[in-house]
Structure 1
Amino acid sequence: MDNFKNFLRLAFGSLWVAIPLTAIYMSSCAIATFIENDYGTATAKALIYNTSWFNFLHLYLLVALIGCFITSKAWQRKKYASLFFHSSLIFIILGAGVTRYFGFEGMMHIREGQKSNFILSNETYINILAKNSEGKVEQYSILANLIAGESLSEKLSVFGKPLKLKVLEVQKLSMDKRDPTSKMVISLDYPPFSDEIELIGGIGIEGEPMVLQNDDVELAFSWGVKKILLPFSIALKDFQLDRYPGSMSPSSYASEVVVIDDVQKIEKPFRIFMNNVLDYGDYRFFQSSYDRDEQGTILSVNNDPGKNLTYIGYAILILGSIWLLLDKGGRFRRLSHFLHEQKVFSFFLALLLFAGLQTPSYAFQNPTQEQQVQMLQTALEKFKSNTKDFSYEFEKVLVQDLGGRIKPLNTLATDLVHKITKQDGFLGMNNTQVFLGMMMFPENWQQIKMIKISNPELKKILGISPKSNYIAFGDVFADGGYVLQNYVEDANNKKPSMRNTFDKDVLAVDERINLAYSIYTTTFFKTLPSPKDSNKWLSPLEIIQVLQAKEQGMRVEYAQEFEALGEITQSFYMAINEGVMENQWGNAKKALLSIKNYQEKHSPALLISDSKISSEIFLNKTNFFRYLILPFILVGVILFAITLTYVFKNKSMPRAINLSFLVVLGILTLFQTIALGLRWYISGHAPWSNAYESMLYIAWASAMSAILFFRKSNLAISAASFLAGISLFVANLSFMDPQVSNLVPVLKSYWLNIHVSIITASYGFLGLCFVLGSITLLMFLLRGEEKKNIDNAILSLTAINEMSMILGLLMLTVGNFLGGVWANESWGRYWGWDPKETWALISIGVYGIILHLRFLGFKNMPYIFAASSVVGFFSILMTYFGVNYYLSGMHSYAAGDPLPIPTFVYFLVLGVLALIITSLFKRNLPFPKV
């Protein structure tokens, strides 16, 4: 009997089972995301998410969780906060189960002027429609999310007679692995029909019907989604799509519908749009998509009886998270008390810190050292001196970018000139001057070596000196042809993962050349609203093309208005030329005023305030996010080095120095806060809507974590500061887009501020765990008989690491499930196995396992915890970068083939493995009972 009890305890109430079970579950989810990327969501569901064994995993996890509750006897030890928090998982799993087995999801497609009373299921079935000679109809649907190699058997009673059906074979018909179209071979036994039939259909699509009939009965078979009839109809009166001004990007879309319920004698009008849901009866309708011709809408529909149970679980989880942090007997507070008893060290080096605040130098070759024609140099010097003051007026002119956003010209010039030259302050001019020169005097500027180039092979092809770091626009053209044409085509024909360094450099130079050409031709200088559409602003080139068409006798709408635009443009060019040549800028300023007046008269709704213009220009010029990189990194590195010195000397530094250091770190964080606030003000939305902004936010959260939670530990402060600097460095890498951009429709919600801010901040805390774990492993390497003080530092770091992980995991968990609420309120389901949310769940599981390893009784817990926190961070890297750039999904930035994995990732993995292995030999250090 005792053996049986021990077996039950081990199988259903032990972390030795629960932790491996969680690992298996998370591994299955990870595999499913790669299957989804290659073969589509339907295939991933068929192979993993909707399988019996995966559902069994859910059930086993639920039972194991309840069993651990019982065996832990946490209520006897008054661990009420822990019990309350973990009970939320029971509600969430139960709610998911109710939704999975008793709810359904589908799609409704309606064209304008039409109505519909059915939806198409998200699941795939073998659908059978039977009709006998008396006119009676029976319908059956057999769940059949089948792919190649699977089989299925089913017995039914149709009109009182047994029907036996067996799937013999499923074979894909398309070479495209994401195309689900397949052939299903079925053995049918329903006398007199006893034969094999073939059905063409597949997962997630409507199948082609196969009809069998005789004098007594008619049977129609199909394999695909099924129609679900509703007790009412939805009529689409009007579909409305709004785009951002001057672009094809959707700003919002909505469906004006009428609910027609003949039974209740109700006709209810409603407007469905993103984040605004139609609730009727037991159904919810969400704006999902639309037809390409914009004459029809696609609504997602769901019936979710598990919603309330799930939401209760979410509420308990959030409240339990707060309780865990505040509970005096909880792990977080006990770790905090442990740290108070430890000796921690600090340092402050103001001179080096403030030196780090200075503007970084650039190691770029000055193109003016290249041999230039004397006349060109003279003209450039004259242009440089004469245009400087005017550029401060010109940079305030509002332009419309290709995405439809209205912004000051300074922003456009800063982005384009930096991309072309890879520096600011080119030739001693500001970016606005360079842009003005390229646009006004293209023939001169095409001779200037200003296009950045670095590849030696490419330099050889273009016939320039190996020491030269720049080429002129004219260097890439010879005999009327584009020298790089074939090389560019070859690179574009290769998959991104197959491109070598030369291919990448060719494409990068080609992009810079095209950007320069667009400036020469005024393509980017869109300043004057179109007479046809005030939401679309025109460039001088577009205006000239219309006027030329008029001169050629072609019919031009709004001809008189276009002539007025031509006069404004001509006056502008003449006035600028006068200013450059004679240094008389009165007419040029009047020309700018004419442009501004025209904008105010014809497109007032799109204009931005003077304060926003000034704020955006200020942010561009100060460039806090770039100039803070070096100070943050210097603080982290130098603090770490000096702290190690004091550890070896077994000395501590005065508290006053620690406070002084925090003040300076606070100043750096204040600059970061101001810059984020300015970006929020300029864009009109929270600054964490894309990859670049989220990296800025992670840097801010990292620095704030040190100030708010770990201010007494120099090693923690060092790690947080270093992580903040590295995050800013990554944000400023070339593959990150720093431009302020318009929001896609679904992000226009208060949930952007709540969900994204919490989950992104969690990345900062978990990134801090990675750095703290790395430092701890390094400290293990430095252990020795004469260095006992290092052990105290390791224990302190372990406690801080665990506290940071608790905070990070709670925020990641709360943020992920709040994202589920957002999804449910936006498009009708709080979980859809999208790769981003799935990998966030995987990360929750990974860090949940790490935090519970101490219950397994390992003796060398500081070493195990440090190594685990380092390895665990790779799940965050996959969640943040891997999903965004290598997997498909609604959170993904990837397009087509994935980008090649950066080389530094391989070195990072090897470095981590080397650190873990080498520190293994000095791992013997237990963690005291806390």
Structure 2
Amino acid sequence: MQNPLKKTLFALYVLVIVCMAAATVVEKYSGTDFVRSNVYGAWWFSLLWAVLTAAGIIYFLRHRCKSWSGIALHLSFVVILAGAFVTHVSSERGTVHLRQGAYINTCVMYDRHNQPHDVQMPFQMRLDRFDVQYHEGTDAAEDYVSQFTIIDHGKQYSGKVSMNRIFRYGAMRFYQSSYDNDMLGASVSFNSDPIGIPLTYTGYALLFLSLVYMLFDPHGAYRKLLRLSHLKKGLMMVALLFALGSGSARAHVLSKESADRFGCLMVLHNSRICPLQTLAVDFTKNLYGKASYDGYTPEQVLTGWMFYADDWMQEPMLRLKGAAMRDRLQLPEYVPVGQFFNSAMGGYTLGPYVQEYYGGNHDAFHSQVAAIDNKIQLIMELRNGSLLKLFPYTYKGNTTWYAPTDSLPKTMDREHQQFVRSIFFLLSDYALTSDYAQMDAVVGKMLKYQQKNGGASLPSDRRVAAERIYNRIPFATILFMLCLAMGVISFLYTIIRMCREDNGANAKGANGNDGLSVCSKRLHVSFFVVNYVVMLLSFCALTYCEYLRWTISGTLPMTNGYETMLFVAWLVQLLALVCGVRFRLLVALGFLMSGFFLLVSHIGQMDPQIKHTMPVLNSPLLSVHVSIIMMGFAMLSFTFISGLTALLLRLVSRTAQPKMIQLQQLSLVFLYPALAALGIGIFVGAIWANVSWGEYWGWDPKEVWALITFMIYAVALHTRSVPQLHRPTAFHVFMTLAFLTLVMTYFGVNYFLGGMHSYA
């Protein structure tokens, strides 16, 4: 009876995972409303979860689990699903569109199939004021705030909602949704779920406690695993094959000293006030793909285009990244901007292709043309001065930064207007005559002007110093090359040592002597010490990089794809250092995995630029949620590379079974806390979602794939129910393939599926 039940349970488990995965793909092409109505909100989806839960309860009771942590953990899932069902059938949600000064007593409510209906509310609401709060001196939104009044049976109650701050009225929870373009109206969403939320939160609390207890239960499987003799002695080996996988005439530039002084000016760039050096770095990377060109600093490149544009139009520094454009137009990878301006061919030669792109032709060639056109437009903005918002003006406590070509406010006195309009003509004259002393004096006046008129928008000296250091040192580039090089060296060394160990074991079996010499053992210890010291230095450098980004942005560096890749690499190195003393294998694994994550951040399409945090991410729960999830991802990366190592050993050695068992045990050492981190991270994320959007689970693609990842990796801990995973080969194959779900959760959602959680 148990075997058919097990097969049924397994089939239902797989079916739920497949349905959720398919729904995320369908959502990309058919829209969120479609999958909410036809999948997540459909009766059959709820029934599928209910049948899976019932089958799981019956199987669990027949299995007679005696572990309190296991009982509590599985009970938490039942409570969470019960809470989700109650929320699904009894909760109410809707949206109220408010206009300033108008009394509103109707709202739009959504049924279980996500269909909207107009409903009359039992009270009236009036919008008193809506504000978009900006970061000082920029157009970057810091928060959206709606202040309103509720009129209920003649009594008035004041309410206020903003991002990550809800307002409760009875059983209803109001939160900020959107606003009207004229700033005189706002949409406030609400949610009423007085039973489902407490029940679900109870399940999450039980999940949290059981996951933590699972790691510390003295009679649990994890503590028994840690007491294995192989792990106590740390006798493990590493093996992993990791394949990795033009001159021109010198253009005129400012002297390095004058260009560097120019880079000390502040500018409004990427909706924040930062050193002009940052704009120069981003400008040079955008055009050339690197932070410097032909030995010139980014400040020299930027000022070169500002003051000697005709020369720089002939410099081959515009990188054509796409092969389709190069092949069709027969161009090299790097071309001068002037290549695309030819009076004999009608002026701007890319113009017709750009029009075809915006006319709807988005093939590879036209997409690449549009990307190059954007780069050329950036140069044009620099040449006409609109890119250089260098001049702050503070009026009634509000600071705005202007470019010399902007329309200046009438309240600005004439002397200041004349200064803004004429300063670049004066700088250009000094640049053309190479009068750097006079140029430096004018730049000094500009600095004083900024300090006098910048008000509270100017960043602190500490933040500026941190940003200038960060701009000068390519941390990710240096560290990914170092880590991957050390990883490859460790691989080659390990292969040699593994062969010697096998030969030594055979020699000892034949004549009773130890096949490894004392010298060889000392070499192994020395090699580990060198590896550990280099890892420590790399960790310190990466920590300093993270500190600089934190200082510059004012928030923990975890808000976009680039920052999370750096953070995962940092976590991997931290784990390798902490655990590497006991398990020497982890130092080499740490080099490889941190090098991989740094490489992804370096060569991927992630944006390394530092920007203000979006209002919805401005919550203390962000750092907790992201750091715990990323900790889980970092530990799962160790299980992946351990699996690859074991499978490679099986291919190259006939006596690999003992090492594969040891690597299986090492994977389990990381798998237990990794699943605990994922579960706790999802729990914290649910609280954050409930505070920000009024619902703890929204079936966003990132949420769904995080759940899928958790469910698939959890299978590896159920070896009594899936005895095939006792075998090292099957276990390592499963763990290697399971890593694809993590890749999908992070990269697939960010770059393919999209959704509320997608960021790059």
Q: Work out whether the TM-score is over 0.5.
A: yes
Q: Which amino acid aligns with 1:816?
A: I
Partners of 2:118 and 2:385 in 1: how far apart? 54
Q: What are the equivalent positions in structure 2 for 1:262-661 lying under 5 Å apart?
A: 262=153, 265-304=154-193, 305-338=195-228, 339-340=230-231, 344-345=235-236, 365=246, 367-368=247-248, 372=249, 377=250, 380=252, 383=253, 387-401=255-269, 403-453=270-320, 469-473=334-338, 475-479=340-344, 480-491=346-357, 493=359, 499-500=363-364, 502-530=365-393, 534-542=398-406, 557-558=410-411, 560-561=413-414, 563-568=415-420, 570-571=422-423, 573-575=425-427, 577-578=429-430, 581-585=433-437, 587-650=438-501, 653=521, 654-655=524-525, 657-661=527-531
Other-structure match for 2:690:
824
Q: Does structure 1 residue 104 correspond to structure 2 residue 92?
A: yes
Q: Which amino acid aligns with 1:28?
A: C
Q: Which amino acid aligns with 1:621?
A: R
Contact 2:539–2:570 (8 Å) recurs in 1: yes
Q: Secondary structure at the match of 2:566?
A: helix
Partners of 2:322 and 2:7 in 1: how far apart? 55
Other-structure match for 1:114:
102
1:459 deviates by 5.8
Q: Secondary structure at the match of 2:677?
A: helix
1:347 deviates by 9.3
Q: Secondary structure at the match of 1:289?
A: strand
1:874 deviates by 1.6
Q: Secondary structure at the match of 1:54?
A: helix
Q: 1:306 to 1:636 in 2, by over 3 A?
A: same
Other-structure match for 2:132:
241
Q: Secondary structure at the match of 1:271?
A: strand
Contact 2:140–2:272 (8 Å) recurs in 1: no
Deviation track 1:649-691 (CA, whole Å, cap 9, x = no partner) reads 2158455643442232122111111111110111011111011
Partners of 1:456 and 1:28 in 2: how far apart? 38
Contact 1:250–1:744 (8 Å) recurs in 2: yes
Other-structure match for 1:256:
147
Partners of 2:57 and 2:21 in 1: how far apart? 25
Other-structure match for 2:505:
none
Contact 1:347–1:642 (8 Å) recurs in 2: no
Task: Tell me the percent identity.
Answer: 29
Q: Secondary structure at the match of 2:653?
A: coil
**Structure 2 residue corresponding to 1:19, chosen from 6, 10, 25:** 10
Q: 1:460 to 1:686 in 2, by over 3 A?
A: closer
Other-structure match for 1:178:
none
Instruction: Note the residue ranges of structure 2 that are not aligned, 5 or more in a row.
Output: 240-245, 502-515
Contact 1:23–1:846 (8 Å) recurs in 2: no
Contact 2:137–2:273 (8 Å) recurs in 1: no
**Structure 2 residue corresponding to 1:81, chosen from 62, 69, 89:** 69
1:742 deviates by 1.3
Q: 1:847 to 1:460 in 2, by over 3 A?
A: closer
Q: 1:756 to 1:347 in 2, by over 3 A?
A: closer
Partners of 2:330 and 2:489 in 1: how far apart? 45
Partners of 2:590 and 2:55 in 1: how far apart? 37
Of structures 1 and 2, the larger Rg is shown by: 1
Contact 2:725–2:731 (8 Å) recurs in 1: no
1:738 deviates by 0.6
1:504 deviates by 4.8
Contact 1:397–1:596 (8 Å) recurs in 2: yes
Partners of 2:47 and 2:328 in 1: how far apart? 62
Q: 1:655 to 1:535 in 2, by over 3 A?
A: same
Partners of 1:460 and 1:832 in 2: how far apart? 45
Q: What are the equivalent positions in structure 2 for 1:657-696 lying under 5 Å apart?
A: 657-696=527-566
Q: Secondary structure at the match of 1:892?
A: coil
Q: 1:91 to 1:711 in 2, by over 3 A?
A: farther
Contact 1:345–1:646 (8 Å) recurs in 2: no
Contact 1:568–1:591 (8 Å) recurs in 2: no
Partners of 1:747 and 1:460 in 2: how far apart? 43
Deviation track 1:254-292 (CA, whole Å, cap 9, x = no partner) reads 111112221xx5312121111211111111111111223
Partners of 1:250 and 1:719 in 2: how far apart? 42
Contact 1:850–1:865 (8 Å) recurs in 2: yes
Partners of 2:41 and 2:387 in 1: how far apart? 50
Partners of 1:834 and 1:420 in 2: how far apart? 36
Partners of 2:567 and 2:323 in 1: how far apart? 38
Deviation track 1:108-155 (CA, whole Å, cap 9, x = no partner) reads 22211123334322216xxxxxxxxxxxxxxxxxxxx4xxxxxxxxxx
Deviation track 1:43-93 (CA, whole Å, cap 9, x = no partner) reads 212222122221122222322333343223232xxx222222332212211
Other-structure match for 2:511:
none
Other-structure match for 1:769:
639
Partners of 2:596 and 2:111 in 1: how far apart? 45
Partners of 1:750 and 1:50 in 2: how far apart? 31
Q: Secondary structure at the match of 1:703?
A: helix
**Structure 2 residue corresponding to 1:811, chosen from 655, 677, 685:** 677
Deviates more, 1:599-608 or 1:702-711: 702-711
Q: Secondary structure at the match of 1:732?
A: helix
Partners of 1:261 and 1:826 in 2: how far apart? 25
Q: Which amino acid aligns with 2:319?
A: K
Q: 1:742 to 1:692 in 2, by over 3 A?
A: same
Q: 1:639 to 1:463 in 2, by over 3 A?
A: closer
Other-structure match for 1:188:
none
Other-structure match for 1:51:
42
1:341 deviates by 5.2
Q: What are the equivalent positions in structure 2 for 1:741-890 lying under 5 Å apart?
A: 741-784=611-654, 788=655, 790-853=656-719, 855-858=721-724, 861-890=727-756
TM-score computed with the length of structure 1 as normaliser: 0.74
Q: Secondary structure at the match of 2:227?
A: helix
Partners of 1:491 and 1:389 in 2: how far apart? 43
Partners of 2:323 and 2:64 in 1: how far apart? 69
Q: Secondary structure at the match of 1:426?
A: coil
Other-structure match for 2:512:
none
Partners of 2:674 and 2:33 in 1: how far apart? 33
Instruction: Note the residue ranges of structure 1 that are not aligned, 5 or more in a row.
Output: 1-5, 125-144, 146-202, 205-224, 349-364, 547-555, 895-930
Partners of 1:687 and 1:97 in 2: how far apart? 36
Q: 1:484 to 1:711 in 2, by over 3 A?
A: farther
Deviation track 1:739-793 (CA, whole Å, cap 9, x = no partner) reads 0011111111101111111112322222232222222211121232xxx2x2222
Q: 1:478 to 1:530 in 2, by over 3 A?
A: farther
Q: Which amino acid aligns with 2:730?
A: I
Contact 1:755–1:815 (8 Å) recurs in 2: yes
Partners of 1:347 and 1:835 in 2: how far apart? 36
Deviation track 1:184-238 (CA, whole Å, cap 9, x = no partner) reads xxxxxxxxxxxxxxxxxxx63xxxxxxxxxxxxxxxxxxxx33444433222111
Partners of 1:450 and 1:577 in 2: how far apart? 25
More helix by share: 2
Other-structure match for 2:61:
70
1:492 deviates by 5.0
1:837 deviates by 0.9
Contact 1:89–1:317 (8 Å) recurs in 2: yes
TM-score computed with the length of structure 2 as normaliser: 0.90
